[in-house]
Amino acid sequence: MTAGKTAAVAMSGGVDSSVTAALLVEQGYAVRGVFMAFGQPDLAAQIERVETVAAALGVKLDVIDVADVFRAKVLAYFRDTYLAGRTPNPCVVCNPNVKFGRLLAAARALGVDLLATGHYARLDRIGERVRLLKGLDPKKDQSYFLHRLDQNQLASLLFPLGDYTKEYVRELAAGFGIAGVHGSESQDVCFLQGTTVVDFLEGQGATGSGGEIVSTAGTVLGHHHGIHRYTIGQRRGLGIPDATPYYVVGLDAVSNRVLVGKDEELWRDSLDMRDVVWLAGKPPVLPCRLLVKIRYHHPGAVATLEASGDSGLRARFDAPQRAVAPGQFAVFYDEDEVIGGGEIV
């Protein structure tokens, strides 16, 4: 079935991408590896590790320079979103612009038919339409991060690990003889290796200026050293003693204020979104009821989606949700299928 089919595998040196490559070799694909060089501080060491895995699998490796688009589309977005008092999700932005944008284009230029990654998600092809589905392992499902891909991108992809659990993937690595070859697990935000969000931002010149920490009633309770140091729901580091803890409930970049309140003030029964995308290319008939995840580790909550404003969308939850963070993405599901998503405003 795969005779003559070519596939590039986005290889990082970790177990997921290494097993992805091994599976496709086993399935009869003509496989070559592609590695994204985006300016990692340990770039030479990473390339050496990926070359070791590729050699063990008998796969040719190409290093693709994506540093320019990564800086423009991901790092600038990450910095600017924090400075604007919102909470970014760089993986959601990187996937359509870099991994399945620039890297996919480079893979196509190499003459391959498909690009495969180690994402825990599934694809279901029905005629010319491709549906994006949750990975079968609920602890590793990564469909949330892929919700902004379009049909053209989805049609060129393979996610061989979508039907597997992480534990089984580790067993496969041992079976393929690469358990001692691949590197350690990569962290969620790949460019934060060995540093914190605050240190990274301030290394990028995002120092910000100090301002007031105020209650929802407008009482000044303390002072902060830059709103980029805070996110919605944060409890630690506020320095405001009280009988019950305060949490960050809002960030006002215009007045340079951190708004704090008690736990009950973190709950919202609705949220508004902008820049909404629909994976089928067009929205469902509104209003409609879907499961909405307000961040990656959120279990999802049933909500009614309805039009809001000229081009926005509102989700009204059946039950209030805690710590809704502007800048994060709300992603909509119909059972296992990703329907779409938008940036929370």
Strand pairing report for 114-116 and 6-10: parallel
What DSSP designation does 97 have? I
**Which residue of the set 30, 92, 94, 115 is catalytic?**
94
**CA-closest candidate to residue 186, choices 87, 31, 40, 57:** 40
Residue 94 falls in the annotated catalytic set: yes
Q: How far apart are the C-alpha atoms of 153 and 136, rounded to whole Å?
A: 22
**How are the residues of the chain apportioned to helix, strand and coil, as percentages rounded to the nearest 5?**
30, 30, 40
Strand pairing report for 337-344 and 329-334: antiparallel
281: amino acid identity, one letter: G
What radius of gyration do the chain's Cα atoms show? Answer: 22
Q: Cα(first)–Cα(last) distance of the chain, in Å?
A: 46
Residue 288 falls in the annotated catalytic set: no
Residue with tokens 């820049």: 275
Q: How far apart are the C-alpha atoms of 245 and 250, rounded to whole Å?
A: 15
**Which residue of the set 190, 192, 221, 253 is catalytic?**
190
Give yes or no for a contact between 17 and 46, defined as CB atoms under 8 angstroms apart: no
Q: How far apart are the C-alpha atoms of 228 and 286, rounded to whole Å?
A: 36
Residues designated catalytic: 94, 190
